[in-house]
Structure 1
Amino acid sequence: MTLAAPYYPIIYVRGYAMTQSEIDDTSADPFCGFNLGSTVFRATADYDRARKFVFESPMVRLATDFNYRDVFENGHDIVDDDWPDNRFLDPRSVIIFRYYEQASKLLGSGKTPSIEKFAQDLDKLVLRVRDLVCGNPDSPGDPDRFRCHLVAHSMGGLVVRAFLQNVKLGSAAARRCVDKVFTYATPHNGIDVAGVNVPKWLTLNDISNFDRARMADYLDLKTQFKKTGRVDWLPQDGAAAFPASRVFCMIGTNRSDYEVAAGAARTFVGHGSDGLVRIENASLAGFDKEGVESPCARAYTYRSHSGYFGIVNSEEAYQNLVRFLFGDTRADIWLDVDGVTLPKAIADKAGVSALYQFEMLASVRGKAWTLSRRVAEEDSVACRTHQQLTTPQQPGDRTVYLSTVFLDKRWRSPAITDDSVAYRVVLNARTPDYEIERKLWLDQHYEGATLFRSALLIELFPPKSADEQWAVYYAWEDSKNPTDARSKVAADDLLFKDGQLTISFPFDSGGAPGIKGRLRFLVSTWNG
């Protein structure tokens, strides 16, 4: 089989193992946890029982859905340097970066190398996979055109970033081979415990790998860290620039089901986390030399960092993974707020403040899961203050990035015979409380009340050739039209620039309090 986009080799980089027994366990596992599935599903945040929902594991599903295979043969790992040179890799292979073997007492010295060493070894592995794929005499490939995907969980995402961002740890030849990067629950901005970043001096079990000052060292972000105190930066200029558009961050929001240390970890990490990584620390953005931000694609799911309800062994994360790697349509979803109105009783009062929360759920037609789920009770909503929306000080105060969804018409129900891709986006804008001079105003308060709530149905017909235009149908969902997007967007309302289609759908709740704005979609063909 020849190398063909986008079905490139997948290199999986597992997460952090704290104790020696955990290191030995992962070394004894052929797939380092990528083979773990699940038969339970937590329907909602307050649902006290699981229901049966079978997810076979990422490894099994990649094999059954896309004909990927492992790299083991007769008890040997073909990728190992000591394997004979007459063995070659199928491009549709899943390679496990078994970097903890050297730290295990089973296969190594029992001493854990630094994260810098892991990054350097990943560089070597990428080049080794390139040579094993392109060196097959039956279907030789051009090494300059070789590409692979990197898929990482937790600390594995930091290993990937160290390899990509630090020119001392990764070579230009290996970086050129990387097509896309997908991270599950990676602490891109470190780990905070009880509101404090883990200290650099805490070297026991390499916990200091999650200290931001230490991360700035191996990620080569010392200058940015001094300016901002953050390390969730992906430089978009320089020798180690990697496109932010080629990175996806999958973010977990369920702390309750993270059982590590008998639940102590989730207790000290606190709300707004997956039990170990805070939601605000689990995403990544690209920044150019002028400081212009490009958020990496991200989606949110009610899953914990690991365990029975973990993010890696979930259908939701898998569907985002394969759509990002292999899908044909990309849609970045933004919210533009044009204005808000206060309740009439306080409209003329000074010192009014409020926090506006924007919930969003995105689901595809015919499926029993959501691609992205941002809900207030799960601490994953996007927020803006009343001051930001009424007297904005920064360019992004009235502009809110919500999520990115990837779609593919090949994975629809067989009953759908047209060439469209369709999905449903629920938008809920609410403000829990108003304050006047820092005192709660409860005179007309209704708990759980919303300013605007509706669902937008959108159906996209991508162009079949360069001569064709996009066709877009939509509807704001109501009781008369619960399932169909029937209104066609006029051609004059489709803004097409630099290969990207911009579509805006206005909404206005009316009344006071109220909100008006636009759901804006940036749509483009993907893997074209």
Structure 2
Amino acid sequence: MTQFLPIIYVRGFAGGTRGIDKAVDDPFYGFNEGSTHVRVGAHGNALFYQFESPLLRLMMDYGYELKVRGDQQRLLNEAGSDSMPPRTIWVYRFYDPSASTFDHPPLPYRIEDAARGLADYIHKVLDKTKDADQVYLVAHSMGGLVCRSAIQRFMYTPNQALGPEEVAAGEGFAPDPAHQEHVNLSGKVTPPFPVSKVVTYGTPHGGIDIDLGGSIGDWFVETFGPNGSDIFKEPRMRDYLSPEGQEDFHPPGGWDPRVPYFSALPAERYLSLVGTNPGDYDVALGWSSRAVGVKSDGLVQIRNAYVKGSNRAYIHRSHSGRYGLVNSEEGYQNLQRFLFGNLKIAISLSDLDLDLTDGAVWQADVGLAIRGVPVLMHYQSATAHCPVVLSEENRDTPLNPVPLVTAFLLPKEDPAEPRRYALDLRVYCLREDRGFLSFGSHLEQVADWQDALLVDVSTQADGTIGSARYQWNSTLAGAIAKAGTLDKELMWRRAPDDTAASPSFVARVDIPPVAESVLGPNAHLSVGIGHWE
């Protein structure tokens, strides 16, 4: 059953006093900003496309209400019993105390203060909301770090099922799924963790690697303040992403800011939206992609833009601006499916047997399209500097499996009507000789194998998985979008990690025979599907 919980929006870093003053002038901190430009014309030219904003879409599509009454914070502080419906949107206005436009001296901004305030704000929303004991957090840029700091530093309680030595050793993180109650050593049942899911747009979970030279350094100081770069370096990230007293925690393999240590919210409850277009961010700000490089959204590097173990969607959008992540159809389509979807589907390539001799590097471009949706839900490619590198996992044994894409399925008014998905795959091999590409065996942008898998999924009236049929595009006659009933049926079986409380299923999709000489005789796609709360 779909849960419509309160949504709290947490915006990103606003910069210095001038940026903060501009941010607080907006009643909704930018969550109401839409767009009218999209890069779908010939040669990537801009065309008009009206996206209303995530705020309006949530209100129109799902009946969410925006309660303001002059001051949302004052509304939450009003005395009285719970009175608000769960389908409400709240904007956490943590910059207001640091603005110079109100009649009080502006306070310095600190991420820990914002995070501590967010933890308190979450509880105030829940105290004021009837029939809800959890919230959804939606954050842009550094707002995602504010969310993680609130969860990991100010809402962390050691797992009492572990001893103090184990907790001190760092084994107490992610003790329980957020949606489950649990019993501690005293036998007392504790309520669910107050946060159910977190969506982050372009958040620098792994920090930002900056080359602060010349005018680029001037731009960065102007944007983030004289000490702003410290926010994205390990010492400061340790401070605000660790519980008090655990800042010096040293896990095996080294500390990684992308890992949600000391968190009651597992990584799988995060959706990391990763931008892959740095060029359009330069249109807005000028110097940023020179500082962070092309493998970024113009501000945050692709490798740093996700929580490890989280669900990810790669979107060819920039960090912000008229072609930004938040004010995009792509972002909203992923947001609504993650929050309100009832099924989770994951597709992987299994039992690959690749030719890894002579410095071979195997990569894959992956795109996910849904019939009726005007954008790609997910897009990883070499041209966007984020292909799936098939050969980097293990060079000695068959790779099993290599994750390709994760998606969430929305419930439909007519459950029997199948939803059509298309997974576009391009696999190609590059060979290097002493660090240089060997062009003698190379055909630029020509795949060794490519095809598109069509899948039609229908659900039962109770939202559980029904039938699913599939077919490769290479075997279709006519247009891919207009194809009728697909040839083959997915044969579901219980997944090895299946539980009675959360059933899940897997199915095998054989690759076309022509691809066996490229991927190996036993290569196939594994399709997993399960209930998503």
TM-score (structure 2 length as normaliser) = 0.82
- Report the Cα distance in structure 1 between the residues aligned to 2:250 and 2:192, rounded to whole angstroms: 22
1:417-436 alignment runs, 5 A limit: 418-431=416-429, 433-436=430-433
CA-to-aligned-CA distance 1:465-510 (integer Å, 9 cap, x gap)? 59x8742210011242633462333646665733111123232675
* Equivalence for 2:296: 273
Give the drift of 1:438: 4.8
- Report the Cα distance in structure 2 between the residues aligned to 1:278 and 1:219, rounded to whole angstroms: 19
> Structure 2 vs 1, CA of residues 335 and 118 (structure 1 numbering), >3 Å: closer, same or farther?
same
* Equivalence for 2:405: 403
> Structure 2 vs 1, CA of residues 151 and 340 (structure 1 numbering), >3 Å: closer, same or farther?
same
* Equivalence for 1:248: 271
CA-to-aligned-CA distance 1:336-383 (integer Å, 9 cap, x gap)? 2511237xxxxxxxx710222111111111222111111211112111
* Equivalence for 1:306: 320
> Structure 2 vs 1, CA of residues 380 and 440 (structure 1 numbering), >3 Å: closer, same or farther?
closer
> Structure 2 vs 1, CA of residues 509 and 434 (structure 1 numbering), >3 Å: closer, same or farther?
farther
- Report the Cα distance in structure 2 between the residues aligned to 1:519 and 1:79, rounded to whole angstroms: 53
User: What 5-or-longer segments of structure 2 have no aligned partner?
Assistant: 160-189
* Equivalence for 2:378: 372
The one of 96, 114, 117 aligned to 1:118: 114
Contact 1:312 1:318 in 2 (8 A): yes
1:213 pairs with 2:208: no
Q: Which moved more, 1:85-94 or 1:33-42?
A: 85-94
> Structure 2 vs 1, CA of residues 42 and 469 (structure 1 numbering), >3 Å: closer, same or farther?
closer
Aligned residue for 2:331, secondary structure, equals helix
* Equivalence for 2:362: 356
Aligned residue for 1:377, secondary structure, equals coil
1:436-451 alignment runs, 5 A limit: 436=433, 438=435, 440-451=437-448
- Report the Cα distance in structure 1 between the residues aligned to 2:212 and 2:509, rounded to whole angstroms: 39
- Report the Cα distance in structure 2 between the residues aligned to 1:232 and 1:302, rounded to whole angstroms: 21
1:11-160 alignment runs, 5 A limit: 11-43=8-40, 47-73=43-69, 75-77=70-72, 79-80=74-75, 83=78, 85=80, 88-107=83-102, 109-134=105-130, 141=131, 146-160=133-147
Aligned residue for 1:373, secondary structure, equals strand
Contact 2:415 2:460 in 1 (8 A): no
CA-to-aligned-CA distance 1:15-71 (integer Å, 9 cap, x gap)? 011121110111111100000000110128x93420111101011111111111212
> Structure 2 vs 1, CA of residues 227 and 174 (structure 1 numbering), >3 Å: closer, same or farther?
farther
- Report the Cα distance in structure 1 between the residues aligned to 2:444 and 2:151, rounded to whole angstroms: 47
Q: Which amino acid aligns with 2:295?
A: G
> Structure 2 vs 1, CA of residues 21 and 352 (structure 1 numbering), >3 Å: closer, same or farther?
same
Give the drift of 1:242: 0.9
- Report the Cα distance in structure 2 between the residues aligned to 1:114 and 1:519, rounded to whole angstroms: 47
Q: Which amino acid aligns with 1:305?
A: H
Q: Which amino acid aligns with 1:486?
A: L
Q: Which amino acid aligns with 1:9?
A: P
- Report the Cα distance in structure 2 between the residues aligned to 1:23 and 1:33, rounded to whole angstroms: 12
TM-score (structure 1 length as normaliser) = 0.82
Give the drift of 1:520: 2.1
* Equivalence for 2:168: none
* Equivalence for 2:486: 486
CA-to-aligned-CA distance 1:222-246 (integer Å, 9 cap, x gap)? 43578425210023xx6x3212221
* Equivalence for 1:391: 396
CA-to-aligned-CA distance 1:185-227 (integer Å, 9 cap, x gap)? 100000112399x99xx97253322112211221116435784
Give the drift of 1:462: 2.9
Q: Paired residues, what number?
A: 481
> Structure 2 vs 1, CA of residues 492 and 374 (structure 1 numbering), >3 Å: closer, same or farther?
closer
- Report the Cα distance in structure 2 between the residues aligned to 1:206 and 1:22, rounded to whole angstroms: 14
- Report the Cα distance in structure 2 between the residues aligned to 1:438 and 1:19, rounded to whole angstroms: 43
1:163 pairs with 2:150: yes
Contact 1:452 1:509 in 2 (8 A): no
Whose strand fraction is larger, Structure 1's or Structure 2's? 1
Aligned residue for 2:274, secondary structure, equals strand
CA-to-aligned-CA distance 1:422-456 (integer Å, 9 cap, x gap)? 3111111112x323455643334322221211111
CA-to-aligned-CA distance 1:498-525 (integer Å, 9 cap, x gap)? 3111123232675897224322222112
Aligned residue for 2:447, secondary structure, equals coil
CA-to-aligned-CA distance 1:110-163 (integer Å, 9 cap, x gap)? 2323211111101110111111113xxxxxx4xxx5111011111011011111
- Report the Cα distance in structure 1 between the residues aligned to 2:95 and 2:196, rounded to whole angstroms: 25
Contact 2:35 2:50 in 1 (8 A): yes
* Equivalence for 1:288: none
- Report the Cα distance in structure 1 between the residues aligned to 2:529 and 2:491, rounded to whole angstroms: 15
- Report the Cα distance in structure 1 between the residues aligned to 2:448 and 2:318, rounded to whole angstroms: 30
> Structure 2 vs 1, CA of residues 457 and 159 (structure 1 numbering), >3 Å: closer, same or farther?
same
* Equivalence for 1:525: 531
> Structure 2 vs 1, CA of residues 171 and 500 (structure 1 numbering), >3 Å: closer, same or farther?
same
Q: CA RMSD in A?
A: 3.2
> Structure 2 vs 1, CA of residues 78 and 189 (structure 1 numbering), >3 Å: closer, same or farther?
closer
Contact 1:473 1:486 in 2 (8 A): yes
The one of 180, 183, 194 aligned to 2:200: 183
> Structure 2 vs 1, CA of residues 505 and 389 (structure 1 numbering), >3 Å: closer, same or farther?
farther
Contact 2:156 2:264 in 1 (8 A): no
Contact 1:340 1:389 in 2 (8 A): no
- Report the Cα distance in structure 2 between the residues aligned to 1:421 and 1:58, rounded to whole angstroms: 23
Aligned residue for 1:352, secondary structure, equals coil
Aligned residue for 2:65, secondary structure, equals coil
* Equivalence for 2:257: 231
- Report the Cα distance in structure 2 between the residues aligned to 1:174 and 1:20, rounded to whole angstroms: 40
1:500 pairs with 2:504: yes
Q: Which amino acid aligns with 1:487?
A: D
- Report the Cα distance in structure 1 between the residues aligned to 2:18 and 2:465, rounded to whole angstroms: 57
CA-to-aligned-CA distance 1:316-344 (integer Å, 9 cap, x gap)? 100110111111221122222511237xx
Q: Which moved more, 1:510-519 or 1:497-506?
A: 510-519
> Structure 2 vs 1, CA of residues 268 and 429 (structure 1 numbering), >3 Å: closer, same or farther?
same
* Equivalence for 1:472: 468
Q: Which amino acid aligns with 1:334?
A: S
> Structure 2 vs 1, CA of residues 219 and 444 (structure 1 numbering), >3 Å: closer, same or farther?
closer
